[in-house]
Amino acid sequence: MAFRQRREALRAILSGSSCIHPASVYDAISIRVAEDLGFEVGMFGGSVASLAVLGDPDITLITLTEIAEQMRRMSRASVLPVLVDADHGYGNALNVRRTVQELEAAGAGGLTIEDTLLPQAFGEAKTQLISLEEGVGKMRGALDARGDPSLVIVARTGAASLTSLDDAIRRARAYEATGVDALFFTGIKARTGLEAIAAATRLPIMLGGTPEEMSALDYLGGQRVRIALQGHAPVAAATQAVYETLKALREGIPPKSLKGLASSELIGRLTRDADMKSRGAEFLGIKK
């Protein structure tokens, strides 16, 4: 029931009239920070997962098991709805079914399935797309695997920057016809392109990054965009902070002289220390 409430909250965003920016989240602490700051939804990106879980670049080395386990950790830590970048579903349409089942069980609010050919084909430097027919099969497989009807399934295409805007619209309309809940576009660089997509489709829209000329939330909301990503700055900031802290310690700076560390009050709040102490008193007889 708790997972369904998160998914219904995500659906309320998609059925609303405004566009929001999600929080880029990747572990238990980052999602609690996002929840405490009032973000409505989290986005667990594939590139962030590769960095946080493997320390590898975003070349589809991460597995479904690793993605699902990290999502499970975040689900335990927070009630914030999370959209998971499930890449290509880790295989063909049958693998997509397994991906949906695992991420649903892990507590994802929703997930995106893209029509990129992954992993990259032998000898091909340029990113490629799978056929429209295979893409449709993946979306149908995703919907068929869904056990909780409130789980959000989002069809994603990068055709606008890889083939053409017309191809992006053609693919989006075909995916829309399968019954997915929203459409996710990457590579939209101008208002004319977004407006053409909005005119040709009916479902809520997600965007993976927007140029400055089309970044205003009011404008995006008017084009039926409900979620607009802003990249993944938090994990980059965290990586830089860890690097600088370890570098300073390695160079002999004493811990008490370090700058920019989280306060004990912030750590206590994010770890829900007060709740743990209350439970300790109630169940273990530990005095506060």
pLDDT band of 1, cuts 50, 70, 90: low
Mean pLDDT across the stretch 44-71? 96
Domains of the chain are 2-231 (3.20.20.60), 262-288 (no CATH)
Whole-number pLDDT of residue 287: 83
Whole-number pLDDT of residue 209: 84
102-115 pLDDT tens trace: 999 999 999 999 99
CA angle 4, 82, 103 (to 5 degrees): 70
Percent of the chain with pLDDT over 70: 99
Whole-number pLDDT of residue 2: 83
Mean pLDDT across the stretch 134-156? 98
Nearest to 86 by CA among 180, 165, 13: 180
181-220 pLDDT tens trace: 999 999 999 999 999 999 999 999 999 988 889 999 999 9
Whole-number pLDDT of residue 22: 98
69-101 pLDDT tens trace: 999 999 999 999 999 999 999 999 999 999 999
Cα separation of 61 and 90, whole Å? 10
CA angle 97, 175, 127 (to 5 degrees): 80
What average pLDDT does the chain have? 96
Cα separation of 167 and 284, whole Å? 62
pLDDT over threshold 80, residue 288:
no
